[in-house]
Amino acid sequence: MEPLKPVSHRARIALGAGFFVLLLALWAALTFGGVIPPLFLKDPVYTLVTGYNLFAEFGFARDVGITVWRVVGGFVIAAIVGVPLGIAMGAYKPIEAFFEPFVSFARYLPASAFIPLLILWAGVGETQKLSVIFIGSVFQIVLMVAVIVGSTRRDLIEAAYTLGADSTAIVKRVMLPGAAPQIAETLRLVLGWAWTYVIVAELVGADSGIGHMIMDSQRLLDTGQMIFGIFCIGVIGLVSDLLFKWMNQRVYAWAF
Amino acid sequence: MGFLRIEALTRTFPGVRNGNPTRALERTDLAVEDNDFITLLGPSGCGKSTLLRIVAGLDSPTTGRVLLDSQAVTRPGPDRGMVFQSYTLFPWLTVRENICFGSRATPEIADAYVQKVDLRGFENHYPKMLSGGMQQRTALARALANDPKILLLDEPFGALDNQTRALMQELLLGIWEADRKTVLFVTHDIDEAIFMSNRVAVMSARPGHIKAELKIDLPHPRHYRMKTSPEFSRYKAELTEHIRAESIKAAQMEH
């Protein structure tokens, strides 16, 4: 191995898949070999069968759908609010000076800590779930977008000025298109975080969703179901991340 | 008189954290006639780029003023096109879209300049796919397509290798000989200054001011072989003396 030497596409996929194979082998060895008793960790075959039953008999697909809807809903609302505010802060320093201290403070408030309050304010319905994801995502989006837009290359701005651009054109024709790929990457990152908030929101005061199912399984001490639920979240996260990445690379071909 | 007039200009940068302010430009006066090609030649750090940025409106003078076509310069505008030393093409736009960026550029004009700077076949390429020389040619076309009254060039070939640089000089000179646009060109390269311009203004070491002016009486159209002619060598000898003295001063200031 040499530092920074690239690997072939095939080798990359084989190595990435290899890790999952090893993990599965370790899991199988520990459970079938009796190192960990089934009470704490069910074996892979049992887990898969449980997963199949969850979909076939307990309508788990509906839970998955609801969870996806909550994540996407809360995330989209956060992006609609956060991206324009971040752009305004990045481009105009007085707006940044006004909002930045509050946003920096709010960013450190853990979204999960708001759950009791939000239940009080919004009940245990969808509003509360979306609010948790919104609070968890919006401040991160605002700050990161503001930094991205604020770090637009000065020489590009100056070049645009000498070509007759006014301040509005600088924002619309230089800062926005220049920042767009990084903003999209930021959204991809935050979408991942939104997934962690939704499960927390569903662990408390929910009657549907993947988090709710995991909570129910805990009461039944069914580690197979719990692991399958966590596994599902991982798969959905991986798929949505790949989709997002693929989309960014298509839309912003000039940047990649 | 003069199309571009720089009058009693000074520029002092305020000190950083209570440090001493830096005097970048001492009283500078310069007049550039319409359709003329003037080079500001000076050692690095002499304030020649600062002067050009003030003409562009990207920086403000501490005292004095700049007039272009009798209008005072206060801010950047499309009447003063600029090509920078760094690569400043918009990476999200293709070559053609970059050339069309200016408020006065039209697709037809853009296509004409694509031809003039030899970029046919590359119109739909993104900047990252182009070599440094091609990027600077696009930047030159972009500035010219906006039809500025004056073209400001801040060491536009400074980051290029010697061979590409020589070709770029001939290309720019060819465009100037055909269009006779007013040009203010900044460089620290003596050969480049003589080859390109009608008049060379030599700047002193910091604080910069114009120390000497030399008219270059080489006929147009100029050919690269002129760079080895006796007249060229005489100009070079004279300018080398000036620049050497200033470079030594500049080097001593750094200690």
A43 contact partners, CB below 8 Å, separation of at least 6: A27, A28, A31, A32
Tell me, yes or no, whether A29 lies in a domain: no
User: Hey, is A219 helix, strand or coil?
Assistant: helix
List the CATH number of the domain containing A172. 1.10.3720.10
Tell me if A163 and B92 make a contact (CB, 8 A cut-off): no
Tell me, yes or no, whether A2 lies in a domain: no
In degrees, rounded to 5, the angle at the alpha carbon of residue B155 between the alpha carbons of residues B158 and A148 is 85
Chain B partners within 8 Å of A255 (Cβ):
91-92
Residue in B58, B102, B103 nearest the CB of A158: B58
Strand (E) or helix (H) holding A150: helix A126-150
- Taking chain B (255 residues) in runs of 10, the rounded mean pLDDT of each run is 82 86 88 91 86 93 90 91 94 94 88 90 93 93 92 91 89 89 92 92 86 88 87 90 83 70
Q: Output the six-digit token pair for B133.
A: 């020389």
Per-residue pLDDT of A180-218, as tens digits, reads: 999 999 999 999 999 988 888 888 878 889 999 998 888
Tell me if A177 and B146 make a contact (CB, 8 A cut-off): no
Tell me, yes or no, whether A82 lies in a domain: yes
Shortest distance, CA A4 to any CA of chain B (angstroms): 22
The mean of the pLDDT values for chain B is: 89
Per-residue pLDDT of A146-155, as tens digits, reads: 999 999 999 9
Tell me, yes or no, whether A8 lies in a domain: no
Chain B partners within 8 Å of A164 (Cβ):
77-78, 102-104, 146
What count of CB pairs under 8 Å joins A to B? 67
Please report the pLDDT score of residue A99 as a whole number: 96
Domain boundaries, chain B: 4-74+185-250
Chain B partners within 8 Å of A155 (Cβ):
84, 86, 88
Give chain A's domain count.
Answer: 1
Nearest CA in chain B to A167: B76
Query: ipTM score of the complex?
Result: 0.90
The CATH homologous superfamily to which domain B4-74+185-250 belongs is: P-loop containing nucleotide triphosphate hydrolases (3.40.50.300)
pTM of the predicted structure, to 2 decimals: 0.86
Tell me which amino acid residue B190 is: I
Q: How far is residue A5 CA from its own chain's centroid?
A: 30
- Could you list the residue range(s) of the whole structural domain that residue A149 is in? 40-255
